[in-house]
Structure formats: structure tokens, C-alpha cells
Chains A and B, each alone.
Chain A
Amino acid sequence: MRPTALFMIALRSLSRNKLRSALTMLGIIIGVAAVIAMLAVGQGARAAVEKSIASLGSNVIIVSPGAPNQSGIRLEAGSNSHFSETDADAIRAQADQVLYVTPMVRTGGQLKFSGQNWRTNVYGVYPEYLLIRQWNVVSGSSFTVSDERGATKVCLVGKTVANNLFGEDADPVGRTLRIKNEPFRVAGLLESKGQNALGQDQDDIVIAPFSTILHKVLGGTYAQSFFASAVSGNAIPDASKQIEDILRRRMRIPDGAASDFTIRTQTDIAAAATSTSQTLTVLLASIAAISLLVGGIGIMNIMLVSVTERTREIGIRLAVGALGRDILLQFLVEALVISILGGLLGVLLGVGTSAFLASTQGWAVSVSPVSVFVAFGFSAATGIFFGWYPARKAAQLNPIDALRYE
């Protein structure tokens, strides 16, 4: 039988039961739309995570101390830091794959400015920190190496801190705030970075010279961690290896013993975050795939009904000379028309839903052409897979019995 004739027969038989065909199609429509929308949400989440990973800086390496083990009693991670500024100098001098390095101390403290107060994290770092994190100063200027050497009481404030202490959109540059009662002059306002991968506000921060925080606010001796950057993305593994070797040597950790510090690189963090969003995508997509499967079972169910209803028609067709193949194709094409039409409408609905989610929920939703293609391909495959059994059943009917069927 000619393909056009097969197609016309399928359309005619589907239009005979419009509601039934539409409901069967709905199963596929919902399935395909769900696959596309869910993949879009997953992709969007991934894009958001990647963006926040990128906001960390470029080729960043973070060295943090491990938990101390004193006479078998293990304390909080980082509580026994003995990183020193000379370690940072050594890394800078010896590790050729490292571009910038800075020691870091952190303290939480109450900030005060004429009647207002705000609690936030205050970081003491070298000026290079801004280069490592690719962080710009939007108003005023950064503190300098001489501020660092002289332990000057200057600081940079994040957008959130500025808004809360000085009022919305007020320029904080040149004003003086108090950190743990020490007066600091605000040298610059940091560019807004938004949330990080964990949802923390990266703009809720104050940055000051390392020596100032260490000596004039904390009164300590050691850095809590190091921030460094590799010369390039490919150099991250080498750079982190060099840092590890230098630190082990300086701390006299014998070969074979575990390091009591941890090195994390931006690639590690990105991999962890990406795998989380990957899991999310797989989860969403598999739920959607199940609904596509259910849609397929709907097709099979309705095709079985259709074959039974049309037993006599099959008998007539066989009697006048239809081959088994002709009958098989007739019903298969019918199932395919349902699934392909359902797939097309599902694609439209899926893209529409994604756009709706993007505009109303503000989610970073992105529909990828691949997911559209895959979802549509799967719907067609569903039609063939679930249409096959009923079509085969029809093709194998005995013409004598089929003609007598009431």
C-alpha cells in the first residue's frame, strides 16, 4: 500500500474518535513537555551554578588547615592554624605555576557607623586577593601594598554592607566605620557578585589589609588560610601540587604522613557543584521519562482497543488481499501519528512551560535544542515500541474469524 494511503487511513481512523485520540495524545504531550521543561530547569540550575563558580575568581586555589590532632583529641578544622606570612612568601618565590598568593584571616564582628550597626565577616588579605577573585572596586580604590606594610586602618566594603550601614545607594568612600571599635576608613566599594553556589551573599563582606586585621583587630600571629591562583586553568593541578610540596617541606611533614591541611581548587569545587546539579537534572529527567512511558502505555492500550473494534475491518482488508505487512503498517502508522503529533505539541508545551517558569519564577531556565530533539525522538520511538504489539496482533488475525467477528 502506498505511504500516502496509509497516512490517510491513519488520519481518518484517528479523526473518527477525536476525544479518544486527543486523550491518548495528551499522555505523550505531557510526557514530552515534562522532559523538555525538566531538562530546561536542570540546565538552568547548572548554568546558575557554573556562573556562581566563575564568580569565585579565576583558577583559584584555597589552602585551609586540617583539624589539629593533639594527644588524640581532634579539634575543629582550622582551629590550630599555623600558616604564616613567610609560607605565603615561600609559595610566591618557589611555585612557578602560582600567579598570586595571599594569606587570609577572618573575623566576625559588629560594624558601627553613626547609630547603625551590622554584623558581618571581615577578611584580612593582601591586595592581590582582589586579583585572584577578579573582583573590581566600583567606587574609590583598593588598599595598597603600603597600606599592608603599614597596617593602615582602611577597608573595602561589599554592596550589602554599604547598603545596611550607610543607606541604599549612598557612596561609602571616605567615611569611617568601626570594626570591633577600631576606626577604619572606607577606601572603596566592591563590585556586586551576588550569591555563591551555596546561596551565601558574597557582597556581605569587609576586606582589609592582612596585617591590620591580624595585628590590630585579632592580635594573632598566624594566617587561617591561603588564597592563590594558578597561572592558567591547565596549570591548576601543577600549582596545587607545588603548594602542597612547599607547605609539607616547611612544616616538616615526613613522607608518607598525611598533610594536616587541605587544598581545594576551583575545578574541584566546580566538579562537586556540577555533579549536584547533574544529579538534579537526571532526577527530574527520569521523572519526566516515566511520564512519557506512561503515555506510551496509553497508546498501547488504545491501539489494542482499536484493533479489537476494527477486527471486522481487518478481516475485510485481509479478504481482499491485504498482506500481514499492510495491516501491521496501517496500525503502526496510526500509533506513530499519535506519538509524533503528541511529540510536536509536547515540544511546544515544553518550550512554553520553560518560558513561563523563566518569566514568573525568575529561574535561569534554558531549553537546549538537544533536549527538544531527544524528547521528540523518544516520543516517536515510544509510538513504534508501544504500537508494535497491537499492530502485530492485528496483522496475525485469521481472516475467517475476523470476518465473522461481531
Chain B
Amino acid sequence: MSNPILSVKSLVKTYQMGEMTVHALRGVDLEVYPSEFVAISGPSGSGKSTLMNILGCLDVPTSGQYLLDGEAAQNLTRDDLSRLRNRKLGFVFQSFNLLSRTTALENVELPLLYRRDVSPSEIRDRAMACLAAVGLAERAGHYPNQLSGGQQQRVAIARSMVNDPVVILADEPTGNLDTRTSIEIMGLFQGLNTKGITVLLVTHEPDIAQFSGRQVIVRDGKIVRDIPTPNQLSAREELIKLPPPSVEELI
């Protein structure tokens, strides 16, 4: 196998809550290789969100090592973390987190606006291509409140891809969506994954984790299980199995 794209060793994170020290992560080792589709799951309070924040370079570990695409991501300043996120990571959130009163296209452009090396016309072209890749090219001029939840999440996915990240981090991306839309979104991730994009998914829903290729279970700040998904589901096949959408849903 090639080198891991993301690698953490003995990752520890503690929080000081007044007198009490909270051990959120107690020594996590994890390696993710290019083109993997990894689902991290675990009960709430297991430390998976903390792990996600550190892997997403939104937070720094108390101790341990983190190599992202060959670059050390521990002990960085706020602005260095920002630059790292901007170049190497894409984010998809549970609550979509699109800017309101900003069109779909402009939302997708956002990460590139903080780059100094991309021209405005290139920004537009790349954002448009990403919107087309999630099937929303004709909705480019729509505002988030004119889009359905599934469409908003697709815009968010387009935004996460626009900077050609080495890995897309999706934090409960289907948490606010119904079953059908959830599967459609997972289909989108599977499609991106087959094109070679590495996806790291955090979810507490076992059904959703079944669409990934590898499952990591976190409990009490440690990885307790790390296995290839048995019987990985294909979103396309699952969609066919679903009963056809009712008339109300179509409208």
C-alpha cells in the first residue's frame, strides 16, 4: 500500500473543566490511505467529535502526532491551521452550514476566495464544475432557502470539493435528512470515492456507516474496532429497493 494520507499516533486530548480534567481522547492511532471511505462511529461522549475536530485541523491535540498528507498538523497557530484546512480539507456538516442570502454558486466559491493564487474567473469555473458534479448546475443562482435539505447538502458537498482536498470530512451529513435523501447523499459520497477522493465520515447511525468501506468504532476516547465493512451497501441498489416516493414527496 502507498503512504497513508492521514496518520495519527498516540493522540491524546484533555479538557480542563474547572477542577476536573476530561480525557476526551486517550491515545488514538489511525491511518487512512488514499481513496478510502472510512466511517467513524461511536456513542455520544465517545470522543468521536473531538477526534473529528483534530483530524479536521479545527483543534490541536494535547499530545501525539498528526500527519496530514505528509505535513505535521500539531503545534500549529490558528492561521496555519486555517491555511492547512483551506488547502487540504473539505468539510460537510450536519446542518449544511451554507451562508444564507448567498447563492449556491457563491457558497461553493467560498473556500477559493481565501486563496491568493486563484483568479476570479478560475474560481467561478471550478465552483461551477463542482456544482455540476453534484447535479445542481441549473440551481447555481438559487439561495439556500430556495433549496431542499438534500440540495443544500449537495451544495455543501460541492463546496467541500472545490479546493481539491486530500480528504473530505463529513460530520453527520445525513443527520438532518430523511432516509431517501440520506441514501442519495451517501450515493454522492460513494461516487466521489470511486473517483479517488478520500472520505472520512462521522456518524452514529449504523445504517449510514454500512455505505462506507471501513468502519472505525470509538468508545471512551479509544478506537475499539477498526474493520473493513462487511457487506458494504451500494446506495444505487438501496435506492431501487426503496418504495417509490409518494406524490406529496415529488411535489
Contact = CB atoms under 8 A, between A and B. Distances in A.
Interface of A: 1-2, 5, 12, 16, 312-313, 315-326, 399-400, 403
Contact of A321 (B53, B59, B86): B86
A399 B58 contact: yes
A321 B113 CA distance: 9
Given A319-B58, A320-B159, A16 B101 contact: yes
Interface stretch (B76-84, B129-137, B227-235): B76-84
A321 B93 contact: no
A194 B190 CA distance: 94
A403 B92 CA distance: 12
B97 A323 contact: no
B78 A320 contact: no
Contact of A318 (B59, B82, B98): B82
B147 interface: no
B169 to A, nearest CB: 10
A323 B113 contact: no
Given A316-B99, A320-B91, A400 B53 contact: yes
A135 to B, nearest CB: 73
B97 A321 contact: no
Given A320-B110, A322-B114, A399-B58, 6 more contacts: A2-B120, A316-B97, A316-B98, A317-B110, A321-B85, A322-B82
B173 interface: no
A12 B110 CA distance: 15
Nearest to B91: A319
Contacts of B204: none
Considering the complex of A and B, which 5 residue pairs feature the smallest CB-CB distances, nearest first? Answer: A321-B86, A320-B111, A321-B114, A323-B79, A316-B97
B87 interface: yes
Interface in B92-121: 93, 97-99, 101-102, 110-111, 113-115, 120
Interface in B31-59: 53, 56, 58-59
Contacts of A315: 97
A2 B112 CA distance: 11
Contact of A12 (B56, B82, B101, B120): B101
Interface of B: 53, 56, 58-59, 78-79, 82-83, 85-87, 91, 93, 97-99, 101-102, 110-111, 113-115, 120, 159, 163
Nearest to A395: B78
A403 B93 contact: yes
Contacts, number: 58
B58 A400 contact: yes
Contacts of B98: 316
28 contacts: A1-B114, A2-B120, A12-B101, A313-B99, A315-B97, A316-B98, A316-B99, A317-B110, A317-B114, A319-B85, A319-B91, A320-B85, A320-B91, A320-B111, A320-B159, A321-B83, A321-B85, A321-B86, A321-B87, A322-B82, A324-B78, A324-B79, A324-B82, A326-B114, A400-B53, A400-B58, A400-B59, A403-B97
A301 B86 CA distance: 32
B53 A323 contact: no
A18 B98 CA distance: 22
A323 B97 CA distance: 18
A12 B59 CA distance: 31
A153 B5 CA distance: 117
Nearest to A319: B91
Given A1-B113, A5-B113, A400-B58, A321 B101 contact: no
Given A400-B53, A403-B93, A320 B114 contact: yes
B88 to A, nearest CB: 10
Contacts of A323: 79, 82-83, 114
B244 to A, nearest CB: 36
A13 to B, nearest CB: 9
A368 B197 CA distance: 65
A195 to B, nearest CB: 62
A326 B115 CA distance: 11
Nearest to A325: B79
A319 B83 CA distance: 10
A112 to B, nearest CB: 85
B46 to A, nearest CB: 17
A399 B82 CA distance: 10
B82 to A, nearest CB: 5
A312 B79 contact: no
A325 B120 CA distance: 20
Nearest to B59: A400
Contacts of B102: 12
B91 to A, nearest CB: 5
B171 to A, nearest CB: 9
Contacts of B111: 320-321
Contacts of B91: 319-320
A405 to B, nearest CB: 11
Nearest to A396: B78
A124 to B, nearest CB: 84
A135 B102 CA distance: 74
A318 B115 CA distance: 13
A312 B100 CA distance: 11
Contacts of B58: 319, 399-400, 403
A158 to B, nearest CB: 73
A324 B80 CA distance: 10
A324 B102 CA distance: 21
Contacts of A312: 97
A12 to B, nearest CB: 7
A116 to B, nearest CB: 80
A321 B82 contact: yes
B86 A320 contact: yes
B115 to A, nearest CB: 8
A130 to B, nearest CB: 77
Contacts of B86: 320-321
